[in-house]
C-alpha cells in the first residue's frame, strides 16, 4: 500500500532532467541581477571527501536559493589540477601525471554529479589544460611588461637528494619530507611576482571587504604586517674601516638597520647582522671562525620547534660602529642567529632594556643594559631591568634631547633628528615578501621565458603560446624532468635567433588558482584569458565558499592577481571576492586497535556499554576523541558510500542540520539516519496526502487548525528565507522541520484543511528545494505540478499572517517570570497591566506589596516591580 521513496531512481532522474534541459547553464542575461557564487575548486586527488561535500552543498544552497529569487546565477566548477601528488604518482606507480590527473577528474566529476549540484558544467576546466595555462602564460607576460615580475636571488630550502626546492611545509625536522635528507639553505635565482608593490593597497582595501569574516581580514592584516619605524645608518669606525679594506678591496660601508623603536636609540648596546648579511659574508672570507658560525646558523632549520628551542647566539666581529647620536660611543658589531636577512635590512641595533631578544643576547654576552623608557610610577634612580625587558609605555629618560617625551612623541622626534643628520629616514616596513613562483617541477605551468646568453631572459612571443609541457618525460631520476628532457629546452632565442634555453621552472600552483574565478566568466573563449564584457558582467564573485586554510595565501594572491589583471586591462575590479564564507571542518571519532594501529570507522563495532571492538577480530578498540577527518588517522567516511545507501539529499541534509556552517561538524551515523528519516517523512506526506487539485483557489474561511497552520506556513517562509540570507542553514532546517510538524496537526477529514495542507506542502517543497533538490522535485511532481520546482519563483510570506492577533505576554515580578497571559494584539498598556496584576500567581508573588513601577513592552512582557 504505502509507496516508498526510491532515492537512487529519483536522484538519477532529476539529475538527468536538469542536465538535459541545461537548467544551470548561465549566460549574461542583463535583464536580471547577477549572482556569482562559487566553491573553492578541488585538487583532483581521486575521490571526493566530506569536506568537499560540505563545501559544495553550501554553495549549492546559495545558488539554488538565489536562482529561485530571480537572480541570474553563475555557479561553476573546475579542477586545481597541477601539483606534486601527480608527480609522486608518476614516480611511485609509473603512470603519467596527465593520465593520473584526468582519470581522477573523471571519477570525481561523476561523484559531484551524483550530489545533484546546480553547476554550470559547460564552464568546467582543469588548470593543467593547455587551453587554461596558455592564458596564464599570457598573463605572466603582461605582468612582466608592466613591471610586476622580477627575477632575483633568494634563499630557499634545497633538498640535495631530490634536487628540488622545498616549501617550508615540506621540511620536517630540518629534513626533506620525501628524501629524509637534511635540507640546505641555498641561494637560487627565481621568478617573483611583486605583490609587495601592493602591500599598502592590499592592507587598506581589507577595510572594504565587509562581507568577509573578520578573522580572515585580521589574518591577512597580520600577514601583510605593516610597521612604521626608521632606517638608520651606523657608520663603522676607523679601525674597523681599515680592517675591512684589508679584507676586501672595495670601500667599507655603513650598516643600515631597521627599527620600530627609534625612541630607544640611546639604549643601544650592540649592532647585530644576519648571518646572511653581505657584510657578514665579506668578513667571513678572512675569518674562518665566522664562516663556520654562519654555516652553523644556516644548518639549523627554520621550523617553529627549532626556533622555539634555539638559543640566541652571536659572533663578535670585532668591528665597532659609531652611534648615530653624539657622545654615545661605539657599539660592537655581532653576527647573530636571530636576525633575519629577509626582514628589514638584515641588521638591527640591540636595545636590551626594551626588547626581550636583545636582553637575552646581552645577558649572554655581558653587554650593557641601559633603560631609556621609564614605566609610569617608577623612579628613575631605582628602575632597573632584570630578566624581563620593558616594552610598555612610559617616559623617555637617559636620552638627551628625547628626555621627558612619551614613547610615541619620542619616535617622531628621534626620526626628525636622524633625518636632520642624514643618518636615515622614517620608513614603513612590511612583513609581506614578494611571491617566489619558480618551482623545479614538471607538473605545473611552464614559465614562458627563454634564456639567451647574449640577450638574457627573453619573453616567449605571444604567438608561440602556449609553451606546452612535453609528454615524453621520465621520472626515474631525481630533479626536474623538464631539465632532463633531451630536446624540450633547446630553442632559438626569439630576439637574436642564437641557440638558447627554455626556462625549465614551472609556476607555483597558487598561480593557477589566483585567477580561475575570472576564467570561469569566459571559460569557452580561446583567444583571451577573460573576455572583458563577460568579466565586467560577472565579477566580483558575490559569495566564495571554502576552507579557512586558504585564508591567507590563496585569498591574498587572488586579491593581488585581480589588481594586476586590472592594470593589464583584463578585468575591471580590484577585489575578486565581495563575499567570503569559511566553513568548518568535518570531524569524526578516531579508533585504535590493541597495537595502536588506526582503524576505519567501518572496522569498529560499538557495544552498548560504550566500549568498542573490532568487527572481525572482536578485539577491544580504543575510541579516541572526535577530530578533523584525516586519512592518516583513518577517521574518514567515504561520501560515495553514503550516497550509495542514502542518496545525495541525505548527505546534504546532514551537512546542513545542527552545526552552523562556520563551525566544525561531527559526523555521526545517528545524524545521517535522522536526515534520512526526515526526507522520507516529507516525501511520504506529499505522496500520500489527499489534496485538492493543483491551482485550486484557497477557501476564504479556515478552520482553527487551518488558520494556525497557515500562520506556521508563512512564518516558515519568512524565517527560512531569512536564515538562508544569513547563512544560518541549521536554523533553516529547524524551521522547515517545525513547518512539517505544524502540518501534521491538520485534519485529514476536513476538505477545508486539505486546501491548507496543499499550500503547506507546496511551501515545504519549495523551502527544502535548495537543500534537498531531488526530494523537493519529486514532491513537487507528486503534488501534481508539470513544471520544475527549481524553476519556480521563491514563495513570499503573506505579511498579515506573520502577526498573531492573540499574543502571549510574559508577566514578571521583580524580573522573575510568574505567569503568562493571553491578550489581543496591541492591547492598551493599562489593560495589559491590569490583566497582569489580576493574575493569581502574580498577586501571590507580589505578596500584598504595592506595585512601585510597571514596565510594559507591548505584546511581549509586563514587569512589575514590587
728-747: which residues touch RNA (CB under 7 A)?
728, 730-731, 733-734, 737-738, 741, 744
Considering the complex, what minimum distance in angstroms separates the CB of residue 392 from RNA?
Answer: 10
Paired sense of beta strands 543-547 and 580-583, if any: parallel
189 near RNA, rule: CB under 7 A: no
Q: Is 849 in the site for RNA (CB under 7 A)?
A: no
- The H-assigned helical ranges of 115-168 are 130-145
Q: Does 857 bind RNA (CB under 7 A)?
A: yes
838 touching RNA, by CB under 7 A: no
Q: Which member of 681, 796, 825, 849 binds RNA (CB under 7 A)?
A: 681
| Beta pairing partners, 504 | none
Residue 814 binds RNA, judged by CB under 7 A: yes
Of 102-110, 473-481, 512-520, 812-820: span binding RNA (CB under 7 A) = 812-820
Using CB under 7 A as the binding criterion, the count of chain residues that bind RNA stands at: 83
Q: Rank residues 380 and 857 by Cβ distance to RNA and give the closer one.
A: 857
860 binding RNA? (CB under 7 A): yes
**Any contact of residue 510 with RNA (CB under 7 A)?**
no
Smallest distance from RNA to CB 75, Å = 25
Classify strands 34-39 and 543-547 as parallel, antiparallel or unpaired.
Answer: parallel
Out of 304, 476, 609, 704, the residue judged to bind RNA by CB under 7 A: 304
Measured from the Cβ of residue 823, the count of other Cβ atoms closer than 10 Å reads 18
Q: How far is the CB of 145 from RNA (least distance, A)?
A: 30
Q: Map the footprint of RNA across residues 531-570, applying CB under 7 A.
A: 548, 551-552
Where do runs of H (alpha helix) occur along 585-703?
Answer: 639-646, 648-656, 669-688
Q: Which range of residues in 121-129, 340-348, 462-470, 695-703 is near RNA by CB under 7 A?
A: 340-348
Contact region with RNA (CB under 7 A), list: 219-227, 534-542, 640-648, 762-770:
219-227
Residues 416-455 that bind RNA (CB under 7 A): 429, 431
Contacting residues for 54 by C-beta, under 8 A, at least 6 apart: 583, 586, 655, 661, 665
Q: Which stretch binds RNA (CB under 7 A): 131-139, 213-221, 750-758, 763-771?
A: 213-221
Instruction: Identify residues 145-164 at the interface with RNA (CB under 7 A).
Output: none
Toward RNA, which CB reaches closer, 677 or 849?
A: 677
Among 793, 798, 769, 765, smallest CA distance to 779 is for 765
For cell 648615530, the residue is 324
**Among 157, 514, 590, 863, which residue sits at the site for RNA (rule: CB under 7 A)?**
863
Our CB check for RNA shows the closer of 207 and 695 to be 207
Taking the least distance from each CB to RNA, the nearer of 81 and 604 is 604
844 lies in the site for RNA, by CB under 7 A: yes
User: Does the protein bind RNA through residue 357 (CB under 7 A)?
Assistant: yes
Residue 845 contacts RNA per CB under 7 A: yes
- How many Å apart are CA 133 and CA 139, to the nearest integer? 9
Residue 506, φ and ψ in degrees, nearest 5: -115, 170
DSSP states along 398-416:
SSGGGTT-BHHHHHHHHHH
Please choose, out of 303-311, 486-494, 531-539, 759-767, the segment that lies near RNA by the rule CB under 7 A: 303-311
Q: Which residues lie closer than 8 Å to 385 by C-beta, 6 or more apart?
A: 352, 353, 359, 369, 371
Q: Does 825 bind RNA (CB under 7 A)?
A: no
Tell which residue, 846, 857, 853, has the closest CA to residue 823: 857
Beta pairing, strands 580-583 & 861-865: unpaired
Site for RNA contains 671 (CB under 7 A): yes
Give which of 469, 472, 481, 473 is closest to 441, Cα–Cα.
481
Site string for RNA, 307-336 (x = CB under 7 A): xx-x-x------------------------
> Which stretch in 211-219, 245-253, 327-335, 538-546 sits in contact with RNA by CB under 7 A?
211-219
Per rule CB under 7 A, is residue 195 in the interface with RNA?
Answer: no
Alpha-carbon distance of 267 to 773, in angstroms, equals 69
The neighbouring-strand residues paired with 167 are none
Least distance in angstroms from the C-beta of 537 to RNA:
34
For residue 58, give the C-alpha cell.
Answer: 553550501
Residue 476 vs 847, nearer CB to RNA: 847
In angstroms, what is the minimal distance from the CB of 428 to RNA? 11
Q: Which is nearer to RNA, 71 or 349 (CB)?
A: 349
- Contact residues for 834 (Cβ-Cβ < 8 A; gap 6+): none
Residues 72-131 touching RNA, rule: CB under 7 A, are none
> For RNA, which residue of 60, 120, 355, 753 counts as binding (CB under 7 A)?
355
Of 353, 590, 818, 835, the one binding RNA (CB under 7 A) is 818
Residue of the chain from 190, 269, 583, 657 that contacts RNA (CB under 7 A): 657
Least distance CB 222 / RNA (angstroms): 6
For RNA, give the closer residue by CB, 288 or 670: 670
Based on CB atoms, which residue is closest to RNA, 312 or 758?
312
| Cα(100)–Cα(442) distance, integer angstroms | 14
Beta-carbon contacts of residue 168 (< 8 Å; ≥ 6 apart): 157, 302, 303
| 810 φ, ψ (degrees, to nearest 5) | -85, 135
Per DSSP bridges, beta strands 449-452 and 456-459 are: antiparallel
> What's the min distance (Å) between Cβ of 845 and RNA?
6
Distances in Å between the Cα of 526 and the Cα atoms of 282, 376, 509, 537 are: 53, 68, 21, 19
Torsion-angle region of 712 (φ positive above 0: left; ψ -120 to 50: alpha; else: beta): alpha
Contact 58, 729 (CB under 8 A): yes
Residue closer to RNA, measured from CB, 340 or 384: 340
Q: How far apart are CA 864 and CA 837, in angstroms?
A: 8
Beta bridge partners of 406: 395
Number of CB atoms found within 10 A of residue 490's CB = 11
Amino acid at each position: 500500500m504505502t509507496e516508498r521513496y526510491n532515492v537512487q531512481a529519483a536522484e538519477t532522474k532529476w539529475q538527468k532532467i536538469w542536465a538535459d534541459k541545461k537548467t544551470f547553464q548561465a549566460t549574461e542575461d542583463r535583464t536580471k541581477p547577477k549572482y556569482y557564487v562559487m566553491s573553492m575548486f578541488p585538487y583532483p586527488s581521486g575521490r571526493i571527501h566530506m569536506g568537499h561535500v560540505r563545501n559544495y552543498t553550501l554553495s549549492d544552497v546559495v545558488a539554488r536559493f538565489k536562482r529561485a529569487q530571480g537572480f541570474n546565477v553563475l555557479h561553476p566548477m573546475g579542477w586545481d589540477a597541477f601539483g606534486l601528488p601527480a608527480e609522486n604518482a608518476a614516480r611511485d606507480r609509473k603512470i603519467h601525471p596527465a593520465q593520473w590527473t584526468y582519470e581522477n577528474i573523471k571519477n570525481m566529476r561523476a561523484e559531484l554529479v551524483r550530489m545533484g549540484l546546480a553547476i554550470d558544467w559547460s564552464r568546467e576546466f582543469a588548470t593543467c589544460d593547455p587551453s587554461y595555462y596558455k592564458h596564464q602564460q599570457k598573463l605572466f607576460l603582461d605582468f612582466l611588461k608592466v613591471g610586476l615580475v622580477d627575477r632575483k636571488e633568494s634563499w630557499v630550502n634545497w633538498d640535495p637528494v631530490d634536487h628540488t626546492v622545498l616549501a617550508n611545509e615540506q621540511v620536517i625536522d630540518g629534513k626533506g619530507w620525501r628524501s629524509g635528507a637534511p635540507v640546505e639553505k641555498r641561494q637560487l635565482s627565481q621568478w617573483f611576482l611583486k605583490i609587495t608593490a601592493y602591500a599598502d593597497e592590499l592592507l587598506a582595501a581589507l577595510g572594504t571587504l565587509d562581507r568577509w569574516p573578520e578573522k580572515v581580514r585580521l589574518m591577512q592584516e597580520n600577514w601583510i604586517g605593516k610597521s612604521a619605524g626608521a632606517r638608520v645608518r651606523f657608520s663603522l669606525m676607523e679601525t674597523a674601516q681599515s680592517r675591512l679594506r684589508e679584507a676586501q678591496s672595495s670601500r667599507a660601508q655603513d650598516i643600515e638597520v631597521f627599527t620600530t623603536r627609534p625612541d630607544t636609540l640611546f639604549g643601544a648596546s650592540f649592532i647585530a647582522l644576519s648571518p646572511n648579511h653581505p657584510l657578514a659574508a665579506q668578513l667571513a672570507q678572512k675569518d674562518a671562525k665566522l664562516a663556520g658560525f654562519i654555516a652553523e646558523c644556516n644548518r639549523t632549520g627554520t621550523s617553529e620547534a627549532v626556533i622555539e628551542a634555539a638559543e640566541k647566539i652571536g659572533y663578535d666581529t670585532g668591528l665597532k660602529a659609531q652611534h648615530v647620536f653624539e657622545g654615545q660611543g661605539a657599539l660592537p658589531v655581532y653576527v647573530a642567529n636571530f636576525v633575519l636577512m629577509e626582514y628589514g635590512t638584515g641588521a638591527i641595533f640591540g636595545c636590551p632594556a626594551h626588547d626581550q631578544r636583545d636582553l637575552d643576547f646581552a645577558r649572554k654576552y655581558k653587554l650593557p643594559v641601559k633603560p631609556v623608557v621609564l614605566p609610569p610610577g617608577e623612579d628613575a634612580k631605582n628602575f632597573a631591568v632584570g630578566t624581563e625587558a620593558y616594552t610598555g609605555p612610559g617616559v623617555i629618560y637617559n636620552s638627551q634631547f628625547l628626555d621627558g617625551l612619551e614613547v610615541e612623541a619620542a619616535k617622531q622626534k628621534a626620526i626628525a633628528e636622524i633625518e636632520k643628520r642624514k643618518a636615515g629616514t622614517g620608513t614603513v616596513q612590511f612583513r609581506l615578501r614578494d611571491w617566489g613562483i619558480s618551482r623545479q617541477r614538471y607538473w605545473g605551468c611552464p614559465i614562458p621565458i627563454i634564456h639567451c646568453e647574449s640577450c638574457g631572459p627573453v619573453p616567449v612571443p605571444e604567438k608561440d603560446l602556449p609553451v606546452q609541457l612535453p609528454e615524453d618525460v621520465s621520472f626515474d631520476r631525481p630533479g626536474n624532468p623538464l631539465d632532463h628532457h633531451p630536446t624540450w629546452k633547446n630553442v632559438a632565442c626569439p630576439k637574436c635567433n642564437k641557440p638558447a634555453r627554455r626556462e625549465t621552472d614551472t609556476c607555483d600552483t597558487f598561480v593557477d588558482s589566483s585567477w580561475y574565478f575570472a576564467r570561469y566568466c569566459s571559460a569557452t573563449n580561446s583567444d583571451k584569458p577573460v573576455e572583458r564584457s563577460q568579466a565586467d558582467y560577472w565579477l566580483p564573485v558575490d559569495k566564495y565558499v571554502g576552507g579557512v586554510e586558504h585564508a591567507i595565501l590563496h585569498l591574498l594572491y587572488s586579491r593581488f592577481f585581480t589588481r594586476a589583471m586590472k592594470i593589464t586591462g583584463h578585468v575591471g575590479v580590484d577585489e575578486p571576492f565581495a563575499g567570503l564564507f569559511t566553513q568548518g571542518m568535518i570531524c569524526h571519532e578516531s579508533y585504535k586497535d590493541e597495537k595502536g594501529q588506526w582503524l576505519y570507522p567501518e572496522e569498529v563495532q560499538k557495544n552498548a556499554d560504550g566500549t568498542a571492538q573490532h568487527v572481525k577480530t572482536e578485539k577491544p578498540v580504543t575510541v579516541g576523541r572526535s577530530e578533523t577527518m584525516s586519512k592518516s588517522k583513518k577517521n574518514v567516511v567515504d561520501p560515495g558510500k553514503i550516497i550509495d545507501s542514502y542518496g545525495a539529499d541525505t548527505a546534504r541534509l546532514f551537512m546542513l542540520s545542527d552545526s552552523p556552517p562556520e563551525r566544525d561538524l561531527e559526523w555521526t551515523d545517528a545524524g545521517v539516519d535522522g536526515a534520512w528519516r526526515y526526507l522520507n517523512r516529507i516525501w511520504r506526506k506529499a505522496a500520500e496526502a489527499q489534496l485538492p487539485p493543483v491551482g485550486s483557489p484557497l477557501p476564504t474561511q479556515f478552520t482553527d487548525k487551518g488558520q494556525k497552520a497557515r500562520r506556521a506556513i508563512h512564518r516558515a517562509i519568512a524565517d527560512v528565507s531569512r536564515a538562508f540570507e544569513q547563512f544560518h542553514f541549521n536554523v533553516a532546517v529547524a524551521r522547515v522541520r517545525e513547518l512539517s510538524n505544524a502540518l501534521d496537526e491538520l485534519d485529514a477529514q476536513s476538505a477545508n484543511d486539505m486546501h491548507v495542507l496543499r499550500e503547506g506542502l507546496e511551501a515545504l517543497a519549495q523551502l527544502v528545494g535548495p537543500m534537498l533538490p531531488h526530494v523537493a522535485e519529486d514532491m513537487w511532481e507528486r503534488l501534481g505540478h508539470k513544471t520544475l520546482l527549481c524553476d519556480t519563483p521563491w514563495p513570499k510570506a503573506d505579511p498579515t499572517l506573520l502577526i498573531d492577533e492573540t499574543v502571549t505576554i510574559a508577566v514578571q515580578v521583580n524580573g522573575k517570570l510568574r505567569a503568562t497571559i493571553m491578550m489581543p494584539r496591541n492591547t492598551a498598556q493599562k489593560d495589559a497591566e491590569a490583566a497582569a496584576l489580576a493574575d493569581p500567581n502574580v498577586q501571590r508573588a507580589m505578596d500584598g506589596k504595592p506595585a512601585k513601577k510597571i514596565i510594559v513592552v507591548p505584546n511581549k512582557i509586563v514587569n512589575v516591580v514590587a
